[in-house]
Every structure is written in C-alpha cells, then in structure tokens.
Amino acid sequence: MNISRFVRSLIVLLPLLAACNPTTSTPTIYETISRGTLKPGSAIPAPSGDVVLIVDGKISNTNSGDTAQFDMATLESIGLVEYDVDDPFAKKNIVYSGVLLSQLLDVVGADSNATILTLKALDDYSADMKSSDANKWPVLVATQADGAYMPVDKNGPLISVWPFNDFPEIDHITYDALWLWSLSQVTVK
C-alpha cells in the first residue's frame, strides 16, 4: 500500500474509531449554573426554611427521621443546571433551572437496586417512573422557570422537567404524565 493511500484510509477511519471510543462523551444539553456544595455522602442539613421537597423510601442519607427534607436553599446547594425545553403544557419554550434528579438521588443515597421512583405533587397526584430514567436522561427538579422562582399558583415551587427537545425517544404519550407540577415528594422503591 502506498503512503498516500494509507493516509487517506486513516482520514476515513479516525473519526469512526473516535466514535467507538468509550471515553468519548456525548454533548451535554444543559449548562451548569453552579457546581454545588452538597455532595453525596455529606450530611444533609435540616431545613431552616419551608420544606419544598421530601425524599423517602430506600435512601440511606436522611435528616428528619427516615426522610431527607429540603428547603429551597439546601436543594439548590446540590448544584444547579439549566436547559430550555418546549413545555408541553405551557405550549412555549421555557428555560428551566434546577437540580438534576440523578444528583438528588446520589445525595440522599438512593438504593442502587431501586427500580421505581414515585413522584408526588402537592395535590396528591402521583406517577411512577423507572429509576433508571433518572440516570438515562437529565431529568430536572426545576426550581425556576425563565429565571424566576415559581409560586404554587404557577405550578411551583418545583416541577419535574423532561428534556423532550434533545431526546426524541422521550415520547409524550409515556412521559407527559411524569411532568409533575408542584412536585413535593419523591419516594425511592
């Protein structure tokens, strides 16, 4: 094989080899706003403000009995990210910011054998999701919409947000029911 033919073959093969490299990361669809100070294994401070989220079930890191309770400041201390998404209910594009559900689960020490997460809203509406979906996609526990905190009468203070825009496999038929307004509790099962 002559040198120029060898070089042309390398030019064709190098991108394919790079794509097969397991250390190659996929592009991130969210922007990190703050890295956060509350890390997995750290003690979760008791809430000093209004409790906005309770996590219970198969968790090992608690701060109130067998639950982990979060006020807004403690929740956001996990670290904030943001991304824009076409909100299927508001029928417009919104930039949501909040905590990745996967990071929240790491902080509370969710059991790695858990298979279901039950999301519950203030009005007692609840829906089950596969716990593996929290690691598969950047599901957000949103604390803000378009840069503003969300009051209860505007579906807040928390909303579970799914990145429909960037992951077409997240179908609306299955996942719209998991877009919970006024999210108040996550139970790890």
What would the pLDDT profile of 123-140 be if each residue is shown by its tens digit? 999 999 999 999 999 999
Poorest-confidence range of 115-119, 121-125, 155-159, 167-171?
167-171
pLDDT at 159: 97
Mean local confidence (pLDDT), 22-26? 38
pTM value? Answer: 0.84
Q: Please state the φ and ψ torsions of residue 29, each to the nearest 5 degrees.
A: -95, 0
Cβ pair 90, 106 in contact under 8 A: no
Mean local confidence (pLDDT), 138-166? 95
Higher-scoring residue by pLDDT: 128, 172: 128
The predicted-structure confidence for 65-113, as pLDDT tens digits, reads as follows 999 999 999 999 999 999 999 888 888 999 999 999 999 999 999 999 9
pLDDT at 14: 37
Mean local confidence (pLDDT), 167-185? 90
Angstrom distance (rounded) from CA 94 to CA 18: 34
Average pLDDT in the chain? 87
Mean local confidence (pLDDT), 158-181? 89
Is the pLDDT at 162 greater than 50? The verdict is: yes
Domains of the chain in start order, with CATH, are 25-188 (3.90.420.10)
| Tokens encoding 16 | 């394919």
Cβ pair 44, 71 in contact under 8 A: no
Angstrom distance (rounded) from CA 68 to CA 54: 6
- DSSP track, the chain: --HHHHHHHHHHHHHHHHHH-TTPPPPPSSEEEE--S--TTSPPPPPSS-EEEEEEESBS--SBTTBEEEEHHHHHTT-EEEEEEEETTTTEEEEEEEEEHHHHHHHTTB-TT--EEEEEETTS-EEEEETHHHHHS--EEEEEETTEE--GGGT-S-EEE--TTT-TTS-HHHHGGG--TTEEEEEE-
The predicted-structure confidence for 5-20, as pLDDT tens digits, reads as follows 443 443 343 343 344 4
Band (172; pLDDT cuts 50, 70, 90): confident
* Distance, first Cα to last Cα, the chain: 60
